[in-house]
Chain A
């Protein structure tokens, strides 16, 4: 069970996030006085994200799992709306959506073995079987491949965030699953923000002009250093990591977040779109927000689980 008391480190950090967002809001209102400007909308989007996720995480483990499941659902739906799908696969897509409650149910009953193979093994084999039974071979590989890529990114990878909540915490009584989730979420999202800010301020040399022209060496390096510093600062509060592992986790999140972002940019470029949707004001769609998490969540989870749980 998540037990949040007002003085637990996780609760203090969560309070810190609200304070930080309040400060950011004041700053943005100063530097972007025009109502409805992109920066102001983006802050509004952050308020939505922070308010909803705080509520879901603090209430109970069940609300947190439902919340993460809803994010997977929205992300998968956005992905399937963007990519070309075959009309003959409607039933298969329906099954793919049903895998979301199942995947989060495995987490709820703490069945690690099923959680870790359900999508990569069972759905990987079964969904193409469903396609074969329907019998449409035109575009089969593309349909099976793109659907599996979506399920791996939006359901399997993102659900690692939720499994952090239920890792057995016996050896580390001071560490809560909530703390680990906060650590990963904060570092991933602040890494994005820091890369954006450093890039805006000092960006000169483009890293990958063909995929994402706004990414610069200066932004990436500045962002990563910021993430390393934050990791060292927050790790003693939220994680069982010592100094060495805090540095490693920070570097892992910085690099993985960067490539998660780029891989979704490549997808959008391939499809010829700028934003993945318009669910969050100023942020674009939900994929624009969870892109980095699809890389950081599984990598951080396995790093932590291998070394500590």
Chain B
């Protein structure tokens, strides 16, 4: 309970005012975003701010049921960062790399979706260079195939990699954009699914 309260306070008092007053994020087609779970929100990834802005875009009542999938290796190193990521933000740790089967790596993400939560997912797997989409990994297609009833909402983000790039801690204000694309659903063909997703994310 106190975790949800802390998360609510963090988003209301810090994240939302920061994006509204300091950064200025222009969300195109916000009405397309889901109003309830389960749903996968999928975006290109350049900055730690990506997950925060995607959570902040959703209606506040969904906050307690929205979980970003994030690298276990990076966020579970222990200390303050691990506490904050798991307890306050509520990440689902994903052990990337190692060539293990999808079911093992993404099993927890699937379970979270199955109970009706919203998952924020970055199919590039890691933060790439700003404004250039890296090759998408196929884990997202596996998730969509496992849960064909769950809609996938692609959101293309631009500018956040300039505000807070990889390896820096000081945010610098720039206007940013977020384009919400039409939701995708699994239709049985992995290549078509990946191509449609890549196109929606500006690749």
Contacts and interface: CB of A to CB of B under 8 A. Distances in A.
Interface of A: 73-74, 77-78, 80-81, 85, 87, 90-91, 93-94, 97, 277-279
Interface in B160-196: 162, 165, 168, 170, 172-175
A77 B170 contact: no
A81 B172 contact: no
B24 interface: yes
Interface string B16-45: 000000001010000000000000000000
A48 to B, nearest CB: 15
A77 B165 contact: no
B21 to A, nearest CB: 9
B170 A94 contact: yes
A81 B170 contact: no
Interface of B: 24, 26, 159, 162, 165, 168, 170, 172-175
Contacts, number: 27
A94 B175 contact: no
- A-side binding surface: helix, strand, loop or mixed? helix
B131 to A, nearest CB: 12
A81 B26 contact: no
Contacts of B174: 77, 80-81
B163 to A, nearest CB: 9
Nearest to B26: A278
A173 B173 CA distance: 42
Contacts of A81: 159, 174-175
A133 B54 CA distance: 36
Nearest to B23: A77
A87 B165 CA distance: 9
A77 B26 contact: no
A250 to B, nearest CB: 35
Contacts of A97: 172-173
A73 B24 CA distance: 11
A73 to B, nearest CB: 8
Contacts of B168: 90
A91 B159 CA distance: 17
Contacts of A94: 170, 172
Nearest to A279: B24
